């Protein structure tokens, strides 16, 4: 039986990958220490997800380990020698990073290096998939010429009709400290692939979402928005007239792409993974979707100051992913994703 090591296994993408590969018959080793609750407080707690995986997945083994623990990581990977590694553990908020710069860098950059070196020593032929972020581009996407529409901003340059591709520059931009720590990890994953010939890839995620997301104000746009709607809580809109655009991809479609890469890996590759144009929406448009499925008006406050380094409009160009892995494409629409998130929160509220 093949084995998979998943870091951040109690998080959105990590848990989705665990479920997906368990269904494929793999033995799953999840690494998580609920650091999200430390970063975000009780609302970021993911123990419920860990318990769900332990309860429902046959052959799931939880390892309570902090990826900053270099010796612990080296020992675990050497013991398991997994057939593939999916690294999703991170400090995920660019707002939070400024308050905890050492924790942010040690988790995102050093933690990734710990895993890469452990993999090089113990299982260099095992595919290594790293969940990176579109924040590696900093605020450079804001230099693209835009046009203002009734409910959103959009690109006013035909070169970006399909979105932002993987060759978009990352220099001369403001990244946030989170973006900078993720750049360090991203480049290191590429380098281990190119320098050592290891099968590695970076997935530069847009808005990754789904019904198992523990969304908070500083991370988890759609999940947190729907949660506010259902609970009648105020949602703060930060700048850009509320017309800022994100492309949203369901966690299941992320797991499906990871499967395709692991089946046919490449070395030191980079992919912009998001929902693409069809799964994009502005905050105002997201309000409309949430209201459609909840039947409740969205309560909000507009703050006339955008978040530092925030994107005005970001849409992932999925062309390279579709070309290199033609068996993969988006399978869950934005509307269906919001419906699932709404239903999941309804169930949680009634418990």
- List the CATH number of the domain containing 315: 3.40.50.720
Do the Cβ atoms of 29 and 63 come closer than 8 Å?
yes
Both tokens assigned to 73: 């990581």
pLDDT tens readout for residues 228-266: 999 999 999 999 999 999 999 999 999 999 999 999 999
Both tokens assigned to 83: 């057939």
Residues 6+ apart with CB under 8 A from 99: none
How many residues does this entry show for the chain? Answer: 351
The domain total for the chain is 1
d(CA 287, CA 298): 6
Phi and psi dihedrals of 348, rounded to 5?
-65, -40
Q: Do the strands 235-238 and 200-205 form a parallel or antiparallel pair, or are they unpaired?
A: unpaired
> In the prediction, which pLDDT does 205 show?
95
Range 277-292 burial, b when 16+ CB lie within 10 A, else e: bebbbbbbbbbebbee
Average pLDDT, the chain: 94
Do the Cβ atoms of 137 and 213 come closer than 8 Å?
no
Do the Cβ atoms of 129 and 203 come closer than 8 Å?
yes
Phi and psi dihedrals of 300, rounded to 5?
-150, 160
Q: Domain range holding 196?
A: 3-350
Do the Cβ atoms of 296 and 232 come closer than 8 Å?
yes
Both tokens assigned to 130: 């790293």
Segments in 197-305 forming alpha helices (H): 221-231, 251-263, 283-294
Among 177, 176, 110, 138, CA closest to 311: 138
pLDDT tens readout for residues 106-142: 999 999 999 999 999 999 999 999 999 999 999 999 9
The pLDDT tens digits along the chain (351 residues) read: 999 999 999 999 999 999 999 999 999 999 999 887 777 777 778 898 999 999 999 999 999 999 999 999 999 999 999 999 999 999 877 778 889 999 999 999 999 999 999 999 999 999 999 999 999 999 999 999 999 999 999 999 999 999 999 999 999 999 989 999 999 999 999 999 999 999 999 999 989 999 887 666 766 789 999 999 999 999 999 999 999 999 999 999 999 999 999 999 999 999 999 999 999 999 999 999 999 999 999 999 999 998 877 899 999 999 999 999 999 999 999 999 999 999 998 887 776
d(CA 313, CA 160): 11
d(CA 314, CA 319): 15
């Amino acid at each position: 039986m093949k084995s998979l090591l998943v870091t951040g296994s109690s998080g959105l993408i990590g848990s989705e990958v665990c479920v997906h590969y368990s269904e494929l018959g793999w033995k799953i080793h999840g690494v998580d220490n609920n650091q999200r609750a430390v970063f975000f407080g009780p609302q970021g707690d993911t123990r419920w997800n860990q318990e769900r995986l332990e309860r429902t997945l046959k052959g799931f083994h939880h390892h309570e380990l902090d990826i900053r623990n270099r010796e612990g990581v080296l020992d675990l990977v050497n013991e398991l020698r997994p057939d593939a590694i999916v690294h999703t553990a991170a400090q995920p908020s660019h707002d939070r990073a400024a308050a905890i710069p050492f924790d942010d860098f040690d988790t995102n950059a050093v933690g990734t290096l710990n895993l890469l070196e452990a993999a090089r020593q113990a299982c260099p032929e095992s595919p290594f998939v790293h969940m990176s972020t579109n924040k590696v581009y900093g605020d450079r996407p804001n230099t693209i010429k835009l046009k203002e529409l009734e409910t959103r901003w959009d690109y006013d340059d035909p070169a970006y009709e399909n979105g932002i591709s993987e060759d978009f520059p990352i220099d001369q931009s403001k990244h946030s400290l989170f973006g900078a720590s993720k750049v360090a990890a991203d480049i290191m994953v590429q380098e281990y692939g190119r320098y050592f010939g290891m099968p590695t890839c970076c997935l530069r995620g847009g808005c990754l979402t789904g019904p198992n997301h523990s969304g908070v104000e500083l991370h988890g746009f759609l999940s947190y928005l729907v949660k506010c709607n259902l609970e009648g809580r105020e949602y703060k809109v930060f700048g850009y007239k509320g017309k800022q655009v994100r492309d949203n991809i369901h966690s299941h479609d992320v797991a499906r792409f990871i499967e395709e890469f692991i089946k046919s890996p490449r070395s030191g590759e980079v992919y912009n993974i998001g929902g693409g144009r069809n799964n994009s929406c502005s905050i105002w448009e997201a309000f409309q979707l949430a209201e459609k499925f909840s039947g409740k008006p969205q309560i909000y406050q507009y703050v006339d100051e955008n978040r530092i380094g925030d994107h005005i409009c970001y849409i992932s160009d999925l062309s390279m992913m579709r070309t290199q892995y033609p068996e993969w494409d988006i399978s869950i629409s934005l509307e269906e994703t919001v419906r699932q998130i709404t239903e999941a929160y309804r169930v949680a509220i009634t418990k």
